[in-house]
Amino acid sequence: MSPRVSRTERPLSLVVLSERLNIAAILSLDSDFDVYRRFRRQPFQRVPLQP
């Protein structure tokens, strides 16, 4: 059985990965990424989904 990840841990995981891999662009439906900041207060570049 795999461990469950809470809703607050999911975005945090993406933030940590983006910092470690030095990637600012993120594909997410979560509009909170417009508020979240990376290392040194750098904003994310949220990639919009286009139908």
Q: Give the chain's end-to-end CA distance (angstroms, integer).
A: 35
Name which residue leads in pLDDT, 49 or 32.
32
**What residue segments make up the domains of the chain, in order of their start?**
9-47
Tell me, what's the pLDDT at 2? 52
Other residues' Cβ atoms within 10 Å of the Cβ of residue 44: 20
pLDDT at 39: 79
Return the beta strands (E) in the chain as ranges: 25-27, 45-47
Its pTM stands at 0.60
Report yes or no: 10 and 32 within 8 Å, Cβ to Cβ.
no
Count Cα neighbours of 3 within 13 Å in the Cβ-side half-sphere: 4
pLDDT tens digits for range 9-34: 677 888 888 889 998 898 888 888 88
